[in-house]
Amino acid sequence: MSIFTDTATDAVTDPAVDTAAASGGSSGDHDPRTPRRADAPTPVVRDGHLGVLYFAARDSWTVTKRNLRHYLRQPRLLVFSTIQPVMFVVLFSAVFGGIAGQALPEGTSYLAFLLPGLFIHSAAFRSVQTAVGLAEDLERGVVDRFRSLPMSRSAVLAGRTFADLVRSLSVLVLMVVVGYALGFRFTEGPWSALGAVAIVGLFGYLMSWLFPYLALLVPGAEAAQTAGFVLIFPLVFASSVFVPPETMPDWMATFATMSPLTHAADAARALSIGGEVAGPVLRTLAWSFGLLAVVIPLSVRRYRRMT
């Protein structure tokens, strides 16, 4: 059997005719009027702006499947990165509950305050994993192949962030289950609960673009990891994720009240257990869409020009 032709149809094969170049369209459906030209199959062709969008979506989905398979093929990573958020829910609520609870309004348990914050905490830290995964890809040869293929330029980045969004949302569900076991309840009804999940998903998605952009600027998986944690730690702790900013020293409280992580945590919290919804949600949406509109084109541009 030769490489581009199968033996059954050798008789009608003219090696001088390059059918791959000569005909467009799907070879999945052979025109019965012409003898089947045995050759490597021909690519799907779709022209125009719609074609560009179609392939961007299709290629992104192909890369997403690849990255989701990666999670499943690394069971140890999967187990530990799943245990970690569960552990945080249990540990933080038990350890800080006694002290932090005193700063909370009457009737609000620390677990109820903490869990929506931990959604944001978990999304923020997982975005470092997104960056590390991307940096590892860049260090391996496989991205070279992606870059030499006629695929959409944004698919490698979009595929990675989509896969991480899927994973983020599954971890979120797990955290809610653990939270419920410990006594947490969504008090604002199912639509608000879904809204909380959506806002966390959106904010996590923003974060999963921000840090990979840094990985594109400072190549190397270790650099991505280190730089990621150095940036994430102060952002997460100087916010309303763990405690109300009013309890912090003035300078930090000022920073914390402006931080997008505070808006996101407040929005998730309001939708979960009550409080002012509109302000934090609008601010989170503005931050998320605003930054995504900047960071996605910057990342794709940077990725295109990487050598």
Partner 1 sequence: MSHDPAVRVRGVRKRFGTTDALTGVDLEVAEGEVVGLLGPNGAGKTTLVRVLATLLPPDEGQATIFGRDVVRDAPEVRRLIGLTGQYAAVDELLTGRENLKMFGELFHLTGRDARRRAGELLERFDLADAGDRPARTYSGGMRRRLDLASSLLVRPRLLFLDEPTTGLDPRSRNAIWEVTRELVAEGTPLLLTTQYLEEADQLADRIAVIDHGDIIAEGTGDELKDRVGGQVVDILLAEDGDGDRAQAAIPGAERTGDPRRIRVPVPAEDALAELSRIAATLQASGLYVRDIGLRRPTLDDVFLELTQQAPPTAQEAA
Sequence-distant (≥ 6) Cβ neighbours of residue 34 within 8 angstroms: none
Q: Which of 36, 147, 283, 302 binds partner 1 (CB under 8 A)?
A: 147
CA gap 159, 27 in Å, rounded: 26
- Tell me the C-alpha distance between 14 and 119, whole Å: 61
Q: CA quadruple 90, 96, 98, 101: dihedral positive or negative? A: negative
DSSP 247: G
164: contact with partner 1 by CB under 8 A: no
Considering only 75, 98, 107, 150, the residue that binds partner 1 (CB under 8 A) is 150
Q: Which of 35, 94, 103, 144 binds partner 1 (CB under 8 A)?
A: 144
Indicate the DSSP class of residue 6.
Answer: -
Per-residue binding string, partner 1, 60-79, x by CB under 8 A, is: --x--xx--xx--xx-----
* Rounded Cα distance, 144 and 137, in Å: 9
What's at 181, amino acid-wise?
A
Q: What does the block give as tokens for 199? A: 């806002």
Rule CB under 8 A: say whether 142 interacts with partner 1: yes
Does residue 41 interact with partner 1 by CB under 8 A?
yes
CB of 148 to partner 1, least distance (A): 4
Q: Tell me: does residue 293 bind partner 1 (CB under 8 A).
A: no
CA-CA distance, 133 to 136, in Å (whole number)?
5
* 145 touches partner 1 (CB under 8 A): yes
Name the minimum Å distance from CB 61 to partner 1.
9
Q: Which is nearer to partner 1, 27 or 288 (CB)?
A: 27
Residue 184 CB, nearest distance to partner 1 (Å)?
Answer: 36
84 binds partner 1 (CB under 8 A): no
Q: For residue 264, give every residue at least 6 positions away whose Cβ sits within 8 Å of its Cβ, in sequence order, or none.
A: 120, 199, 200, 203, 280, 284, 287, 288
Instruction: List residues near partner 1 by CB under 8 A.
Output: 1-6, 15-16, 18, 20-21, 26-28, 39-45, 55, 58-59, 62, 65-66, 69-70, 73-74, 140-142, 144-151, 155, 305, 307
